[in-house]
Amino acid sequence: MTPILRLATFCLTVCLLLATAHAGEFTPAQRAEIVQIMRDALKQDPSILRDAVNAMQADDGDRQQAAARAAIAAARGKLVNPADPIAGDPGGDVTIVEFFDTRCPYCRKLEPTMSDLLARDHRVRLVYKDLPILGPDSVLGSKALLAAQKQGRYEKLREAIMSAPPDTDKRGIQAIAQNLGLDWERMKHDMDDPAVAARLQANLTLAHELGIEGTPALVIGGNLIPGAIDLADLQSAVAAARDVKQGAREGN
């Protein structure tokens, strides 16, 4: 008997017992009988409970993914802003939007995987969304990156910061920036630009609209993928998005 059929049979048995005593409250004997039947069933086949939990989790996951897809569709115009930093192919046929925090250990874990993907697949566009959610030092790191973008060094500084200790302070960022040849005085001024703060706030608002609760978070096609994933899963998500896009073109 399949797990789903076992679960259905168990539920049906309980429902029949409930129907037997629907005219009034259960007597102590009836309640004892129901409890005993449930206990016996779980002893004989503990997988019933596991299957029920798995079924509920799967259902919750399906609902969350459906909600995420709807939110992504509604926010499509905000996902890629002309001012957003981009890696990979700017005209790529598949876009990955990565929400990240410079101090997030899982974002740092994703770095080599994402680099590997871009080295293997030259048709991917990677859009960075700075999302400083881990405190003031994260805000400092994000402001530094967006200020460096004005000097054409966003990716270089991002790579250096993401490989430096996560507790890097302003002095540490200054040392990294100057080592990369950035104008620190200009960069300090740009970090306090209200436009930089507005961009970070826009990213935070967008993340909230998409139901993003942590970093990293990837939007690939119409799907939201929370957390760091391995290369195989990343490639599968890109391939699925590419297939959907190709199918849409052929449908037209």
pLDDT class for 193, splitting at 50, 70, 90? Answer: very high
What average pLDDT score do residues 221-238 get? 95
Q: What is the CA radius of gyration of the chain?
A: 26
Q: Is residue 73 part of a domain?
A: no
% pLDDT > 90, the chain: 64
Structure confidence at residue 57 (pLDDT): 47
Residue 75 lies in a domain: no
Instruction: Name the least confident of 7-11, 132-136, 164-168, 202-206.
Output: 7-11
Considering its fold, how many domains does the chain have in total? 2
Higher local confidence (pLDDT), 8 or 248:
248
Q: Which residues pair with 99 in a beta bridge?
A: 129, 217
Asked whether residue 43 falls in the same domain as residue 105, the answer is: no
Last residue in a domain, options 41, 67, 93: 67
Which stretch of 176-190, 196-210, 238-252 has the lowest confidence by average pLDDT?
A: 238-252
Residues in the chain: 252
Q: How many angstroms separate the Cα of 58 from the Cα of each of 7, 54, 226, 233? A: 15, 6, 16, 19
Tell me what pLDDT residue 245 has: 83
Pick the last residue of a domain from 15, 42, 67. Answer: 67
Residue 159 has a pLDDT of 97
176 and 164 Cβ atoms separated by less than 8 Å = yes
> Does residue 54 belong to any structural domain of this protein?
yes
Residue 23 has pLDDT above 50, yes or no: no
Q: Is residue 74 part of a domain?
A: no
Domain boundary among 42, 67, 92: 67
235 with 248: CB under 8 angstroms?
no
Helices (H) and strands (E) in the chain, counts: 11, 5
Strands (E), the chain: 86-88, 94-100, 124-130, 217-220, 223-226
The answer to whether residue 49 scores a pLDDT higher than 80 is: no
Range of the domain at 42: 3-67
**Is 179 a member of any domain?**
yes
Please tell me the least confidently modeled range out of 20-29, 115-124, 154-163. Answer: 20-29
Under the banding of pLDDT at 50, 70 and 90, the label for residue 18 is: low
Does residue 8 register a pLDDT over 70?
A: no
Residues 118 and 95 in one domain: yes
pLDDT in tens, 59-99: 555 566 677 778 898 888 899 999 999 999 999 999 999 99
CATH value at residue 223 = 3.40.30.10
Distances (CA, A) of 100 to 29, 111, 130: 58, 10, 6
Closest C-alpha to 152, from 116, 118, 177, 188: 177
- 11 pLDDT higher than 60: no
Q: Residue 79's pLDDT is what?
A: 93
pLDDT of 64 reads 61
Two tokens at 80?
């890629």
For residues 54 and 84, state if they share a domain.
no
The answer to whether residue 228 scores a pLDDT higher than 70 is: yes
Query: Is 110 found in the same domain as 204?
Result: yes
